[in-house]
Amino acid sequence: MSFSTRRWTRLGVGYVRQYPFDLAVVSVAAVGAYAIVGGQPEGTPLRLFGTVLLALFLPGYAFVSVLFPAIERRSPDAASNGLDSTPGGIAVVERFGLAFVLSIAIVPMVVLTLAVTDWGLGTEPIAVSLTAITVVLAQLGVVRRLRTPAGKRFTVSPIAAIDRFRRAENSLATVSSILLVGAIVVASGALLLGMFAPASAGGFTELGLYSEDEDGDLVPGAIPDEVEPGESVPVTIAIENEEGERMEYTAVVQQGLLEDGEVVERTTLEELSATVADGDTARTQHQVTPTVEDGESVRVNVLLYYGDAPDDPAPGTAVEDAHFWTTVTEDTDDG
């Protein structure tokens, strides 16, 4: 029994020693990138870095390791004659360049697959899927590489890579490969910045006006367009804060008298203040009472400002502006 235990111990230690260092780093980096993407707020540099690794490099590198476990290409003559059964390989520079290309190909397939599932296209499902794919492909790459003869097996060794570069007969081709990888990296980075720069530049605030239906649910665009003199219009004002921080708002309720389709007179009815935490939506039900005569129509604007409102609020100066039309008349249609 002790002999068997020592044998399995030696096998385990030997396997750990032969485990490819680069694929271990890829697996750990994939899990770490997932933790960063899921744990950091949107727009932070650390989350952007994790997104770059998880979306533009790690899955492709793991896939390349499955396809090309060796360091050298097979000889065309030996391959055609069936004399060489060793898996093919590619150079280090080509390996990195192909990693970016395959990552860009893998991500859309993941997105299209998730779009038809119950998980949807949220950040969490995409990050989990890319992490799982990377780890699984990395382990398949380990199996493929350990089955390759040690002398032809790809290993991560900067010194050996420099020596191969110095001994390369076609240095011009090697330099061209390096330039190609650099171009792919720059293009991928530009694509990622184009996708994430608008989100990281700042958040947004959304203003909405709603009314309640018979079941008590909030319905947009169902505010009564006719009201009796002195009667109020019930309106629910909703302020959604996605600015990335706690915000102070002021909402100005303003009516504008209409004549021939033009607003000729503006009157501020009330100012409302609200403090909204990041990611939350503040809602308040407000009674708007038009101060016009029978037969006159008004446009009621809700103007939203950061902090305090200016002395002369107007739609052109507001951060967000929502409005509805109503006519004061004694002949309202209750139906």
Q: Is the pTM of this model over 0.75?
A: no
Which of 152, 174, 201 terminates a domain? The answer is 201
pLDDT reported for residue 96 = 82
C-beta neighbour count of 217 within 10 angstroms: 9
pLDDT reported for residue 11 = 45
Cα separation, 241 vs 229, in Å, equals 35
Digitized pLDDT (tens) for each residue of the chain, 335 residues in all: 445 555 545 545 555 667 888 889 999 999 999 999 888 877 678 888 888 888 888 999 999 999 888 876 655 554 455 545 555 667 777 788 888 888 888 988 998 888 888 887 777 888 899 999 999 999 999 999 888 887 787 777 555 555 555 555 455 555 555 565 565 666 555 555 554 444 444 578 888 888 877 776 777 767 877 888 888 888 888 999 988 788 999 999 988 887 776 777 888 888 889 899 988 888 888 888 888 777 788 888 899 999 998 888 888 888 898 888 888 887 655 54
Q: Which domain holds residue 178?
A: 2-201
pLDDT reported for residue 2 = 47
Residue 40 in contact with residue 47, Cβ under 8 Å? yes
Residue-averaged pLDDT of the chain? 77
The full DSSP string for 173-206 is: HHHHHHHHHHHHHHHHHHHHHHHHHHHHH--EEE
Specify the CATH number for the domain of residue 243.
2.60.40.10
333 within some domain:
no
User: In terms of domains, do 85 and 56 share one?
Assistant: yes
How much of the chain exceeds pLDDT 70, in percent? Answer: 73
User: In terms of domains, do 91 and 163 share one?
Assistant: yes
User: In terms of domains, do 248 and 315 share one?
Assistant: yes
pLDDT, tens digit, for every residue of 49-74?
888 888 888 999 999 999 888 876 65
335 within some domain:
no
41 within some domain:
yes
245 within some domain:
yes
Which of 201, 221, 239 terminates a domain? The answer is 201
